[in-house]
Structure 1
Amino acid sequence: MSELKPSRIKLGMLTACLPSWDLDKIAGYAAGRGYQALEVAVWPGTGGRDFEAAHLPVATFTGEDEERTRALLDRHGLEISALAYYENHLHPDPEQRAAYGTHLKHAIDTAQRLGIPYVGTFIGRDWTKPVAENLAEAERIFPGYVEYAGERGVKLIIENCVMEGWHPDGYPGNLAYSPELWEWMFDLGLYLNWDPSHLTWIGIDPVETIAPYADRIVHAQAKDVELRPHDRQRYGHFGPARDRTKNAWDMGWWRYRVPGRGQVDWGTVLDRLYEHGFTGTLSVEHEDPVWGGTPEKVVQGLDIAHSTLRPLIVA
C-alpha cells in the first residue's frame, strides 16, 4: 500500500476586501482567526475602483519595506501565497495597457524580493475587437511577461473570472474563463488561480475541471455564488441588457457569496483537490454583498468562510 503524503493545503484570504485596513491590521485579524496565508492586493491605490486595495507599495518597494514585511509575517506566523494585481492587459487604450504592464512588473520584482512564488492577474480583453484578434495580441504580449517572471523565479497565475463588467454588453472581458481558453493560455506559460464561483454561473461544473488541469492549478480562490433561476427567466443567461448602465456588474440572476452561502459543494471541491495532489493555498475572495459594506461586516463574512472551509482542510 502506498504511503499517503501529508496535506500541505493552507487556508488563506485575499486582502482586497479590506482596502481601508493596512496589512498589519489584516494580518492580525487573519492570524487570530486561524487563516494561514495572505493573498496580498497590490494595486497602485489610485482609487479608480473600490476594490483597488494597495497593501504593499510594489512600485516603490525598498529594502526597508522588505524588512518590515518580513517582520510582520514572522510576528503573525503567516505567509504570502501570492500578490494580486488583476488588470486588463489587453485594454484598448495603449497608455493604460502600458501602465498595467509596468505595474505588473513591479509586482513580480516585489514577489522575487520576498520569495513569493506567484503573482495573480488577468488576460483581459480589448472589447472593440473580436476574440481571435485578442488571442493573437495576448500571444504577442504575454510571453514577455512570462519570461520576465520566470527569470525572477515567479509564476504568473490567471484567475478564471469572466469580468463581464469590463465589456459594455456584459460579455466576457477576461479571456480565461473556460477550460478551452485555459489550454490556450497554458501554452503561453501561464498557470491558473482556480475559482469555482465563475465556472458555476457560466454552466461549467467546477469539480469536473480539477482532474484534467491539476498540474496547472497552483493556487485557488474560495468564492461562492448564489444562483437565482427565477430571475434568469427574465434576463436570460447574459443578464440585463437595457439596464446595464445602472450597474455593469449586476447580472440580475446571480451574485457572489462567501463560501457556505451559495451553490458550490466545498466538501467535494476539497476532496477532489486533495485527490489530485493540490498542495497550494485556498484563498478566500470575499465579494459577498450581504456580508459587505463595512469592515465589520466584511470580517463577519470572512469568519463565515473560515468556519465553512477550515473543517474540510486536513490538519
Structure 2
Amino acid sequence: MKIGIVTDSLASLSLDEVIALSAELGIECLEFSIGNWSDSPHLDATGLLRSSVERRELKARMDDHGLIISAFNANGNSLHPTDGQRQDAVVRQAIALSRHFEVPQVNLMSGLPGGGPGDHCPNWVTAAWPPETAHMLDYQWNDVALPYWRDLAEHARAEGITQLCLEMHGNQLVYNLPSFLRLHGEIGDIVGLNLDPSHLLWMGADPIEIVKRYARHIYHVHAKDTAINPARIGLTSRLDTQPMGDLCQRGWSYVTLGYGQDSRWWKAFCYWLQAGGYQKGVLSIEHEDLNLSRREGVVRSVALLKECMPTEAPDYELPGA
C-alpha cells in the first residue's frame, strides 16, 4: 500500500509546498480536487486541458519528487436539479485530465436529484415511509440517476477511463452498500468504490465488514476518521444537523486519523484491505478536522498509516502447499 493525500487537505499551501511536504513526509500519491465542492486551490483544470505545456510541467514537478497522481477528484452533485449541468462539466473535466495523465480512474459522488420534477433542491430519502418516499426514489433512480450514469459510463469508457470511484456519502443517492450495489448492478464494473470509512462510521455501518465482503469493488480508499460521541448521539441520533463547528454538541465529527478509531482499528482496516487484494492501492488522507491544523493533522495521519498499513506484498506460503 501507498500513502496518498487529497490535496485540499493542504489547501493553505501552494502546489510546490504541497509537493515538497508530501515528499518530505513519505506521501507517494496526490489526489487533486478540481472543482465542485472544492475551490481547486492547486490546479486550473481548464488551463491544464488547454495546454500540453502546463501538463508536462505538472508531470515534471511530480516526477522530480517521486510522486504520482492517484486520481482527479470531482466530488459534487452532478444530479443537482438546478446546478447539475455545471457540476457534470467538472466531472467530465476530471475524465479528460485522467486521460491526459494516464490515470485510469476518477473520484466522484453519485449525485442526488430532487424528489420530483420541478424541485429546486436535492432530496435525500432516509426512510421507507411515508408512502411518497417510494415515489421519490423511483423518480430519482429511474428518471434521473440511471439515464445519467449510463451516459457518463459510456463517455468515460470512450475516454479510456475504466474506474468511476464513488464515495458512499450522506446526502447522495449512493450512501450505503445496497444503494451502491444497485448502481453497480445497473451500470457495470466501471462503477466502484472510493471507500471512505468516515461516512460509514457516522451512519452506523461497519467499514471493515464491507472490506471483508466486497473488497473486489474497492478501487480507491480515502483515509478519514470520525469520532462518535455516544452521549450526544443518545440525544441527537446520527442524523445530526447541528453546525459542524459545534464539536462538543454534535453526535459525531470528522477528525484526524486515530482520534476517532484507534490504531488497532486502523490496523484491522488496512489488514483486510490487503487480504482483499488492495496491497498496491492508495490510502489517500483527507483532513477535515476543525480542531487540528492542516499540517499537524496530515503529519499525525501519515504517522498512523505508517504504523498500521502493510507496505509489501504477502509472500508466505504454507509448508507443503
TM-score (norm 2): 0.82
Q: Quick check: 1:277 aligned with 2:284?
A: no
Residue aligned with 1:82, SS? strand
Distance 1:21 1:127 in 2: 36
Matched with 1:135 is 141
Judge conservation of contact 1:42–1:107 (CA < 8 Å) in 2.
yes
Give the count of matched residue pairs. Answer: 281
Q: Quick check: 1:305 aligned with 2:301?
A: yes
Distance 1:276 1:305 in 2: 23
Matched with 1:56 is 43
Judge conservation of contact 2:194–2:219 (CA < 8 Å) in 1.
yes
Deviation at 1:248, TM superposition (A): 10
Alignment of 1:59-78 (within 5 A): 59-61=46-48, 62-78=51-67
Letter in 1 for 2:209: E
Letter in 2 for 1:308: L
Letter in 1 for 2:304: T
Residue aligned with 1:214, SS? helix
Alignment of 1:31-110 (within 5 A): 31-43=23-35, 51-61=38-48, 62-93=51-82, 96-110=83-97
Matched with 1:181 is 179
Judge conservation of contact 1:111–1:117 (CA < 8 Å) in 2.
yes
Alignment of 1:115-134 (within 5 A): 115-129=102-116, 130-134=136-140
Matched with 1:227 is 228
TM-score (norm 1): 0.84
Distance 2:246 2:115 in 1: 19
Moved over 3 A (4+): 246-251
1:153 to 134, 153, 160: 160
Gaps of 5+ in 2: 117-135, 312-321
Deviation at 1:230, TM superposition (A): 0.7
1:16 to 4, 8, 15: 8
Matched with 2:193 is 192
Distance 1:79 1:191 in 2: 21
Gaps of 5+ in 1: 1-8, 163-172, 292-296
Distance 1:310 1:229 in 2: 29
Q: Deviations over 1:129-181 (max 9, x none)?
A: 4233211211010111112111222221111121xxxxxxxxxx112211101
Distance 1:247 1:71 in 2: 39
Q: Quick check: 1:113 aligned with 2:89?
A: no
Identity of aligned residues (%): 27
Letter in 2 for 1:140: P
Deviation at 1:247, TM superposition (A): 6.0
Residue aligned with 1:52, SS? coil
Against the structure 1 CA distance between its residues 57 and 63, is the aligned structure 2 distance closer, same or farther, given a 3 Å change threshold?
Answer: same
Q: Deviations over 1:229-283 (max 9, x none)?
A: 111122223224xxx5x66998921000111111261010001001111132110
Q: Cα RMSD between the aligned structures?
A: 2.0
Against the structure 1 CA distance between its residues 249 and 88, is the aligned structure 2 distance closer, same or farther, given a 3 Å change threshold?
Answer: farther
Judge conservation of contact 2:115–2:137 (CA < 8 Å) in 1.
no
Deviation at 1:53, TM superposition (A): 2.6
